[in-house]
Amino acid sequence: MCRARADGLRVEKLLLLWRLKSFSILPAMSACAVILLSFLIAATPTPTPPQKSGATLINEALVQLQAPKPSKEVQKFQLKEADINEFIAVAIQSKKRLGVKKIQLDVAEAGRVAAVATINMDDVKLDNTGVWLFKKVLSGTQVLKAQGKVVRTGGKARYELEKAEFNGVWVPAWLASAVVSYVGKNQPPHVDITEEFDLPFGITGLVFHSDRVEITR
């Protein structure tokens, strides 16, 4: 019985990897839950098998979000933090992303989102005149820890980064924002999450809790 279940989970994971090969998704809702929105904007979900992992549950939500609303009634989707992180991990594993090797999100009340991202800074080109001051930090593989909040206005949102560090070294928020901006603009769907962008799928509500994100449309 246990062996059959394990085999079923392995098959499910292979199916998810195969499906996600066709995904074109932004790494950094974000570096952060806006990272999530960026992933959602360009994801191409497909029907899922009966036995559901966290990544499968997110994929299933995408199927419903991308479909036309069945009625005028408000739709609500509860996306758990653990499931979001599992989905992002599988997506990154399935296809190389510009500069991004790993992303882990931590959502909280009042739109607060923290993220830990492993980034190859050699893939990120920055022209800001103050960047040279951080030359040693901005090379090779770095671990970016960012904290901020998602600011939503009507059908638009942006990620307001408040503080950040690379490998435990504090850096100005503007510098981390420049990294997130570059990564977002230079790969599909070409969205800079540090600037205001349109929420996808007709989303009208975005509420963050300590362990999940609630989406309404």
What is the tens place of the pLDDT at every residue in 91-111? Answer: 888 877 778 888 999 999 989
The 10s digit of each residue's pLDDT in 108-126 is: 998 999 999 998 888 887 7
> What does the alpha-carbon distance between residue 97 and residue 217 come to, in Å, rounded to a whole number?
29
- Count structural domains, the chain: 1
Measuring CA to CA, which residue among 136, 135, 139 is closest to residue 122?
A: 139
Predicted local distance difference test score (pLDDT) of residue 45: 58
Q: What is the pLDDT of residue 26?
A: 35
Task: Name the residue range of residue 121's domain.
Answer: 2-216
Residue with tokens 């001051």: 133
Among 88, 24, 9, which Cα is nearest to 55's?
88
- Three-state secondary-structure class, residue 80: strand
* Tokens of residue 207, six digits: 């509420």
Q: Is 0.85 surpassed by the pTM of this model?
A: no
2 pLDDT exceeds 50? no
Which of 33-47, 63-77, 149-163 has the weakest average pLDDT? 33-47
Report the chain's C-alpha Rg in angstroms. Answer: 17
In the structure, what pLDDT confidence band is assigned to residue 6 with cuts at 50, 70 and 90?
very low
Q: Please check the confidence at residue 9 and state whether its pLDDT lies above 50.
A: no
For 78-155, where are the alpha helices, taking DSSP H only?
Answer: 81-94
Lowest mean pLDDT segment, chosen from 71-75, 98-102, 197-201: 98-102
141 forms bridges with which residues in the sheet?
120
The Cα 31–Cα 16 span in angstroms is 23
Question: What is the rounded distance in angstroms from the CA atom of residue 177 to the CA atom of residue 175?
Answer: 5
The alpha-helical segments, DSSP class H, found in the chain are 2-20, 34-42, 54-66, 81-94, 173-185
Say how far apart CA 99 and CA 179 lie, in whole Å.
10
Rounded Cα distance between 127 and 132, Å, is 9
What is the Cα 202 distance to its own chain's centre? 18
Sign of torsion over alpha carbons 49, 50, 56, 61: positive
